[in-house]
Structure 1
Amino acid sequence: MPRARSTRLSLAIVTALACLPVHAEVPADAAPAAPAPFDFQQVVVTSARPVSALTFETDPRLPRQPVPASDGADYLKTIPGFTAIRNGGTNGDPVLRGMFGSRLNLLSNDGAMPGACPSRMDNPMSYVSPETYDSLVVVKGPQTVLWGPGASAGTVRFSRDREQFDEPTVKLAGSLLGGSFGRNDQVLDATFGAQPGYARISANRSDSDDYRDGNGNAVASEWNKWNADLALGWTPDADTVLEATAGVGDGEARYAGRGMDGSQFKRDSYGLRLEKKNLPGALDSIEANVFYNRADHVMDNYSLRRPNPDGAMPMPMASNVERATTGGRAAATWLGDSVDVTAGVDAQDSRHRRRSGHGRNTYQLQPWTVDARFRNLGVFAEGTWRAEAGKRVIAGLRADRARATDERTTPGKMGRPNPTAGSSRTETLSAGFIRFERDLVDQPVTWYAGLGHTERMPDYWELFSPDMGPVGTANAFAGVATEKTTQLDVGVQYRRKTWDAWVSAYAGRVDDFILFRYGGAGMMGPMSSVSNVDARIHGGELGVEYRPSAQWTLGGTLAHSWGKNRDAGTALPQMPPLEARLSLGWDDSQWSFGALVRAVASQDRIALAQGSVVGQDLGPSAGFATFAVNGGYRFNSLAQLTVGVDNVFDRTYSEHLNLAGNADFGYPADPVRINEPGRTAWVKLNLKY
């Protein structure tokens, strides 16, 4: 088996590199090497804490437990409040506080990559390899207007640094990972810089076989994916950067919970960015970027599985969808004695097209058909007023003009003429927030309270994927209203030398919440309809970290989300259950050890057969707890070896937010959630020069 040989080779490389006599190169009289240049505040990331009010920031290159992430959604789960709609081994869809889809503004290098699949098989985070980025920043709630429209649940930004070099410099970083079920990853990040500029190449490959659950049953989940990105920067002086970027990628993934697999995840990305800072006068900096991202995605039922003669698709079938998105943003920042302001404009244009065919690869002979177009133009301003020492008021306003055009002739599974073919709808959207932050005098305490409002245009999946719209309307495109969220966020942070603690809570009202309902049977599966309801949401997260000595760290987090359909008086669907994490770590700057307990409560507040374009409530779910351990060794400032075991006791369990197993893989007709991996071991070598 080529994949098995590749896995053994990767493990052999990891072992060989780990055993190199790296200390032999250091002279006996030399000073001890500093700890590795990675940010070792957590040797293995099990949870993140806020760096400021509602803002979480972490280094996605750090080893993570459970087994290091293969996509952006997987890494986001280390931040309290995040979970994902699971559908197998990779490409889960991120969920924050029970909110999903374009309620989360998901950006990579400040560009949008919305994906093309009508059921979000290739959601934006499936095109993100976390280890090829330098930082992950999350802002929870409608508490910023700087990064695009919507974002009622939060904003997620995976970013790469842009550096200045005074002399010729070579920087190399990379990692090798091997693990159970054929897991086999390689990452390389190489930069050459000098005073005129720099060149940086980031590349990765990730591969895995089907995993087995705690009962030893195989779960269709294999994947293979790769990415490569190039950045060329010109730095004529210390305050100016002009950067051009280009990237490509592809992959395939098998899904136990879908009727088709992803046999192609082709990505093309291009960008241009200008930054100028330390300008004279009140205007401190300007930045501008433009981007082009194209997702070319193929789904079929024959590349990674055999067509099921008794299923909904008994013969080979394939669907090819493509979405090309062009956009840009320009912003300027003014700094004053007590007031700082950032203001600017952003725009985005997106075209979606598709083709399909019956038979193997016959889709390639079919012409493309454009079915949807989206445009958005927005203006924004956000500022901070330092009223007096320890007191800050942060506020922002945003206005957007959004337009969607329906190019379909026969929408959905019905095959009837489209009553809105060629029609466009245009909406003017508003958003804003105000937040007060206070640092208590002579106390290591900061508290905040913020009120935010945002109006969100229905996205592609809400306008074009449902089979039916609200009762009495022609279809979803004509009938689904914009979604309006008003939310209060409050919280407290406490920081001392040995203690960190934080609490964040929220309560919101969502008018015209966009809700999917499923029922009946169509040619390709259950029929879906979408409508607007009014909803209430509330919940929160808390965390604590105790450092009794320089070596020991104990921590814990708790996350809770609650939602109600006010119109029906029932639960809002797809709400994650109460989740707690307890972690223990020991680190003496050379050796490290850690343990993680993850406990998830049962969930019986459900709305059966309701949810989103990806997932629906399948019924109550049972609670579970898992235990994981990790250990590490720093050879010197250049190399770190980490090993881990997840689900140590080989528990059989499934997540509440999940897809039902597909009949093609032997799952019964009654919905059955897909089980998570059983005991999983992994070893990872991080290198940096």
Structure 2
Amino acid sequence: MKKQFPSLAAQSAVPGFSTSAPGFTPCALACACLLAGPALAAEDETVLRETVVTAVHDSSPAQVVADPRQPRQPVPASDAADYLKSIPGFSAIRSGGSNSDPVFRGQFGSRLPLLTDGSLLLGACPSRMDSPSSYISPQSFDELTVVKGPQTVIWGPGASAGVVRFSHERPDFSESGLHFDASLLGGSAGRNDQSANLQVGNAGYYLRLSANHSHGQDYRDGAGRSVPSGWDKWNTDLALGLTPDADTLIELTAGAGDGWARYGGRGMDGAKFRRDSWGLRLERKNLSPWLAKIEAQIYSNRVDHVMDNYSLREFKPGGGMNMPMASNVWRNTSGARLAATMNLAAQAQLVAGLDALYSPHEKRMGSPMGQSYLDKPWQRDAKSSNLGLFGELSWQTAERTRWVGGLRLDQPRAWRYPEPAMGGGMGGMHGAGMGPMVAEADNQRSRKALPSGFVRWEQQLAQPGASAYAGLGHVQRFPDYWELISPGNSAADKGNAFAWLQPEKTTQIDLGLNWKSQDWQLWTSAYAGWIRDYILFDYQGGSRVRNVNARTAGLELGGHYRLSPAWTTQATLAYGWGRNTSDGRALPQMPPLEARLGLEYESGPWAAGGLWRMVASQKRHAAGQGNVVGRDLGASAGFGLLSVHASYRVNQRFKLAAGVDNLFDKTYAEHLNLAGNAGFGFPAGQRINEPGRTLWLRADIKY
């Protein structure tokens, strides 16, 4: 019998977990307190009209805007990547029930930065077990914005695939009041989620408190086989805003979170995902006729992550580990941003400023059979920084024509620290007992100025509600921690990736059309990219990384049509293509063609709908190549899934929704996947199957 993950009572024996320490209990108590009060208050004018989301459409040229608090189908896991999958063009590298890594148009990692209220959070695991998306709970935010392609320069460096921003809106408290929303969800495989958001304030200040908790047990695939995939997570965030007048905002934020997760596709599980964050933001509008806004921000996001092969699974020797081991990694990402919005003329506006980033990384390792990692000193292995200058101009040249362009210059730097050769082990002091001496210059990488820029034409067409855009963008992205350090960090090896890996240079054309009327909307976006020095991972005969040249292309299209006052149909399609021109083969980790068809019904308090997701087989692959997380495992089979849902609005503030995902209990696996781990009895190279039939019930409260 396979060992299940610990019960709540047993978790107190796992390093980093305690049902009485800060973690699960504070969040559960916060959710309970937030749910208890406003749920009993008198009804007001707020009406819950949101339906279950099955596909998110383009909302404006080159970007998508969505409400991450709306319920969606399939029911999401606890990470941001799974919510992003409802947007055409997005997929995820799956490894079980939680902590997927988002992929957009086949691009991954630092090519697609994820920001929360303008701040960047980076994971610490050398294999991205704790991807940045694993620390983000979408339901805690008011708005999700996705910029497609290299079509902005104001949100940090290296965004060649796009930019994802989760953000909070400034609450309106012109009169004293209280805003509240919460949700409870239960489902198959022990799934239970609680989420609550409370805002209270007046014209001079506001207080925002959000808390959420998510738990799931090992699920079963369509064939009834148990997949190691359980997780438990909590997050709590607090913001205090001062609004002395309508044009001024000073906001102080603080937050924390933690959790654990089992992985059927890895040799270790995640025993700890501790996050501690704080930030300060200032905003001042309408300073003069030409100075529209000044923004200033500082922040710090610290993660403390533990991986081990014994606390959430039965230890079995293998994968180069002959005894129980735990690895503890730590990373702090601190940043600052200053931007000014200037009205240069009646129809021209410039956003200009600078941003800075500093991120050290440390680690330690131990075994419960010897010296625990908790007794080892921290060893720094890497550090990175970046200083960027940016300017982005919007110019309305005619009544229906707008030009947008931007330029960015970045000065990145990276450091690595040699590991002790003797005497110190993994937990040795910095540089103690080093082997062959290496010149300090060989442990530093920097560039004086990496340029990025774009220009985009936007046109409102003669037909009302129709628009088009065309953009050309170029991004030079400095290699990140996983590309420079993770493949091989021996300071004595001057021939490794750290010494010679080149920045990635992407040039891409983006095109789009949007037609909209009262009863229907159609949209399409397409792209073609040329990438010089694309950073590719090879896994044949060990792990190594190198530069190649590549080409990419693809499209997303979709639309919806109102058949009658009660019935609406919708459809989306996404396809991505990539070729490694240096090796003359397919670019790895490209998702297959995917289409979604949806039908929605809404009348009075009732709503219902269905989603048919169709994924084609993927025959274009590059076996043994990929990225730091996953690699191509060969061709994959196509599949089709049908999911259904229904909801009932009990009153103006309370709504119930229920659904069944994978209605026909299909056995299937996503193309972007991890190979099953032999420690769980999976054959080598076997993909991790997705959940079978999943039932869920959700309650939403809004006040």
In which range does the TM-score fall when normalised by the shorter chain? over 0.9
Aligned partner (choices 656, 667, 670) of residue 641 of structure 1: 656
| Shift in CA distance, 25/467, structure 1 to aligned 2, threshold 3 Å | closer
- Residue 479 of structure 1 and its aligned partner are, at CA, apart by 1.5
Q: Which residue in the other structure is 1:577 paired with?
A: 592
- 1:378 has 2:388 as partner: yes
> Take 1:653 and 1:420, find their aligned partners in 2: how far apart are those partners?
52
| Shift in CA distance, 35/235, structure 1 to aligned 2, threshold 3 Å | closer
Q: Which residue in the other structure is 2:402 paired with?
A: 392
> Take 1:92 and 1:594, find their aligned partners in 2: how far apart are those partners?
26
In angstroms, what is the RMSD of aligned CA positions?
2.4
Q: Which residue in the other structure is 1:68 paired with?
A: 76
- 1:549 has 2:564 as partner: yes
- 1:363 has 2:373 as partner: yes
| Shift in CA distance, 631/196, structure 1 to aligned 2, threshold 3 Å | same
| Shift in CA distance, 437/420, structure 1 to aligned 2, threshold 3 Å | farther
Alignment of 1:212-361 (within 5 A): 212-335=220-343, 336-359=345-368
Q: Which residue in the other structure is 1:406 paired with?
A: 416
Q: Deviations over 1:421-469 (max 9, x none)?
A: 6721111211000010111124432111100000000000000111389
| Shift in CA distance, 309/424, structure 1 to aligned 2, threshold 3 Å | closer
- Residue 70 of structure 1 and its aligned partner are, at CA, apart by 1.1
> Take 2:130 and 2:510, find their aligned partners in 1: how far apart are those partners?
31
Alignment of 1:400-549 (within 5 A): 400-409=410-419, 419=438, 423-427=443-447, 428-467=449-488, 474-520=495-541, 527-549=542-564
| Shift in CA distance, 687/577, structure 1 to aligned 2, threshold 3 Å | same
- Whether the aligned pair in 2 keeps the contact of 1:35 and 1:636 (CA below 8 Å) is no
SS in 2 for 1:436: strand
Q: Deviations over 1:197-218 (max 9, x none)?
A: 0111101000000000000000
> Take 1:603 and 1:623, find their aligned partners in 2: how far apart are those partners?
7
- Whether the aligned pair in 2 keeps the contact of 1:121 and 1:262 (CA below 8 Å) is yes
> Take 2:551 and 2:583, find their aligned partners in 1: how far apart are those partners?
12
- Whether the aligned pair in 1 keeps the contact of 2:48 and 2:654 (CA below 8 Å) is no
Q: Deviations over 1:397-444 (max 9, x none)?
A: 10010000111336999x986857672111121100001011112443
Larger deviation: 309-318 or 155-164?
309-318
Q: Compute the TM-score of the two structures, normalised by the length of structure 1.
A: 0.92
Q: Which residue in the other structure is 2:23 paired with?
A: none
Q: Which residue in the other structure is 2:121 paired with?
A: 113
> Take 2:470 and 2:141, find their aligned partners in 1: how far apart are those partners?
31
- Residue 25 of structure 1 and its aligned partner are, at CA, apart by 6.8
Number of matched residues?
659
- Residue 164 of structure 1 and its aligned partner are, at CA, apart by 3.9
> Take 1:576 and 1:243, find their aligned partners in 2: how far apart are those partners?
40
- Whether the aligned pair in 2 keeps the contact of 1:323 and 1:350 (CA below 8 Å) is yes
SS in 2 for 1:628: strand
Q: Deviations over 1:281-323 (max 9, x none)?
A: 1111111111001010000001100111355323110000000
Alignment of 1:20-39 (within 5 A): 36-37=47-48
Q: Extract unaligned runs of 5+ from structure 1.
A: 7-13, 27-32, 521-526
> Take 1:600 and 1:425, find their aligned partners in 2: how far apart are those partners?
42
Q: Which residue in the other structure is 2:24 paired with?
A: none
- Residue 326 of structure 1 and its aligned partner are, at CA, apart by 0.8
Q: Which residue in the other structure is 2:60 paired with?
A: 52
Q: Which residue in the other structure is 1:687 paired with?
A: 701
| Shift in CA distance, 617/282, structure 1 to aligned 2, threshold 3 Å | same
- 1:95 has 2:106 as partner: no
> Take 1:418 and 1:249, find their aligned partners in 2: how far apart are those partners?
41
- Whether the aligned pair in 2 keeps the contact of 1:260 and 1:300 (CA below 8 Å) is yes
- Residue 167 of structure 1 and its aligned partner are, at CA, apart by 2.8
SS in 2 for 1:664: helix
SS in 2 for 1:401: strand
- Whether the aligned pair in 2 keeps the contact of 1:23 and 1:636 (CA below 8 Å) is no
Aligned partner (choices 593, 608, 612) of residue 627 of structure 2: 612
| Shift in CA distance, 237/212, structure 1 to aligned 2, threshold 3 Å | same
Q: Compute the TM-score of the two structures, normalised by the length of structure 2.
A: 0.90
> Take 1:346 and 1:248, find their aligned partners in 2: how far apart are those partners?
24
Q: Extract unaligned runs of 5+ from structure 2.
A: 1-5, 10-18, 20-30, 427-433
Q: Deviations over 1:633-664 (max 9, x none)?
A: 11122111111100000000000000000011
- Residue 69 of structure 1 and its aligned partner are, at CA, apart by 3.6
- Residue 34 of structure 1 and its aligned partner are, at CA, apart by 5.7
> Take 1:485 and 1:81, find their aligned partners in 2: how far apart are those partners?
18
- Whether the aligned pair in 1 keeps the contact of 2:48 and 2:649 (CA below 8 Å) is no
Q: Which residue in the other structure is 2:168 paired with?
A: 160
- Residue 340 of structure 1 and its aligned partner are, at CA, apart by 1.2
In the alignment, residue 256 of structure 1 is paired with which amino acid? Answer: G
| Shift in CA distance, 473/637, structure 1 to aligned 2, threshold 3 Å | same
Among the aligned pairs, what percent are the same residue?
A: 54
| Shift in CA distance, 109/23, structure 1 to aligned 2, threshold 3 Å | closer
- 1:77 has 2:85 as partner: yes
Q: Which residue in the other structure is 1:130 paired with?
A: 138
Q: Which residue in the other structure is 1:211 paired with?
A: 219
Aligned partner (choices 608, 633, 645) of residue 630 of structure 1: 645
> Take 2:45 and 2:610, find their aligned partners in 1: how far apart are those partners?
25
- Whether the aligned pair in 2 keeps the contact of 1:208 and 1:222 (CA below 8 Å) is yes
| Shift in CA distance, 511/182, structure 1 to aligned 2, threshold 3 Å | same
In the alignment, residue 359 of structure 2 is paired with which amino acid? Answer: S
| Shift in CA distance, 440/311, structure 1 to aligned 2, threshold 3 Å | closer
- Residue 102 of structure 1 and its aligned partner are, at CA, apart by 0.3
> Take 1:211 and 1:590, find their aligned partners in 2: how far apart are those partners?
33
> Take 2:48 and 2:602, find their aligned partners in 1: how far apart are those partners?
15
SS in 1 for 2:498: helix
> Take 2:107 and 2:439, find their aligned partners in 1: how far apart are those partners?
29
- Residue 23 of structure 1 and its aligned partner are, at CA, apart by 12
- Whether the aligned pair in 1 keeps the contact of 2:48 and 2:655 (CA below 8 Å) is no
> Take 1:548 and 1:479, find their aligned partners in 2: how far apart are those partners?
58
Q: Deviations over 1:130-176 (max 9, x none)?
A: 11111110001000001000000000001112224223212221110
- Whether the aligned pair in 1 keeps the contact of 2:232 and 2:259 (CA below 8 Å) is yes
> Take 1:417 and 1:95, find their aligned partners in 2: how far apart are those partners?
40
> Take 2:392 and 2:457, find their aligned partners in 1: how far apart are those partners?
14
Q: Deviations over 1:223-278 (max 9, x none)?
A: 00000001011111111110000000000000000000000000000000001112
> Take 2:565 and 2:418, find their aligned partners in 1: how far apart are those partners?
63
> Take 1:79 and 1:352, find their aligned partners in 2: how far apart are those partners?
32
- Whether the aligned pair in 2 keeps the contact of 1:406 and 1:420 (CA below 8 Å) is no
In the alignment, residue 161 of structure 1 is paired with which amino acid? Answer: E
SS in 2 for 1:676: coil
Larger deviation: 449-458 or 69-78?
69-78
> Take 1:537 and 1:218, find their aligned partners in 2: how far apart are those partners?
37
